[in-house]
Amino acid sequence: MASLPLGQYSKVAGEWLGVLEPGPEAAAARLMVAVMLTLASKLKRDDGVKGPRASNPASDSTRRVSVRDKLLVKEVAELEANLPCTCKVNFPDPNKLHYFQLTVIPDEGYYQGGKFQFEIEVPDAYNMVPPKVKCLTRIWHPNITETGEICLSLLREHSIDGTGWAPTRTLKDVVWGLNSLFTDLLNFDDPLNIEAAEHHLRDKEDFRNKVEDYIKRYAR
C-alpha cells in the first residue's frame, strides 16, 4: 500500500466504504480505516515536529517508536490484504497498532473447530527484534505450552539455522506462521511441550481425544 497524505486517506477510505454492504465485513472495514486514519494523523504530527538532534536515551526511544509506527502503517495494510481465511485480527485500541489480537480458527487437522486467541505486541525496537506473542487460549499442543509460550522459529531473536527473526520479516509472516502451527508447522520432533509430544508418540488417538477435550473446555 503506497503512502498517502492524510487528506487522501480520508478520500480513498470514503470511496472504499461507500461500496460495502452493511454487515460484519463493513464494520471490520470501518474499524481498519479508523485505525489507519488515526495513525496517519499521528505520523503527520510527528513529521512536523522540529527539535534539537541531541542524542539522549529519551529522544532515541521516541525516534525508534516513530520508525516502528511508520512500518506498522504499511505492514497492517499488507496484513489485512493477505490475511489467511482461518484468521481474524482485532485492534482493541485504534491508536495502538503495536498491540493487537489474533484469532485462529483451524479448518483441518487435530485442532479443527477450535478458536485460539493470541496477543501480539510489537516492541519499540521493531523491526530489529521480533514481536512478542502469547497464546491466550489453553491448548494441548507440542509447540505451545499450556501457559501460552510459543515455539516458532521466526519469533527467535537469535537463530543459528537462519530461520529466526530478520528485519526483512513482517507482521504478515508472523500471522501466517502462527496459523501454520496448526497445520504445516505442527512439529512433534522439536517440541516445547514435551509431554504433549510424548503423548502423541505414545497414543495418537488418546492425544486427539485430549486435544478435543481442551477445545470443548477452552476454545469455543
Instruction: Tell me the C-alpha distance between 112 and 156, whole Å.
Output: 27
The 8 Å CB, 24+ separation contacts for 93-102 are 94/31, 94/34, 94/35, 94/38, 94/39, 95/38, 95/39, 95/42, 97/35, 97/39, 97/69, 97/72, 97/73, 97/122, 98/68, 98/69, 98/72, 98/122, 98/123, 98/126, 101/136, 102/175, 102/178
Find out whether the peptide bond into 90 is cis, omega within 30 degrees of 0. no
Is 87 considered catalytic here? no
Instruction: Tell me the C-alpha distance between 190 and 144, whole Å.
Output: 11
Q: What is the DSSP code string of 95-110?
A: T-TTEEEEEE--SSST
Strand partners, 89: 102
Of 85, 87, 135, 151, catalytic: 151
Catalytic residues: 151
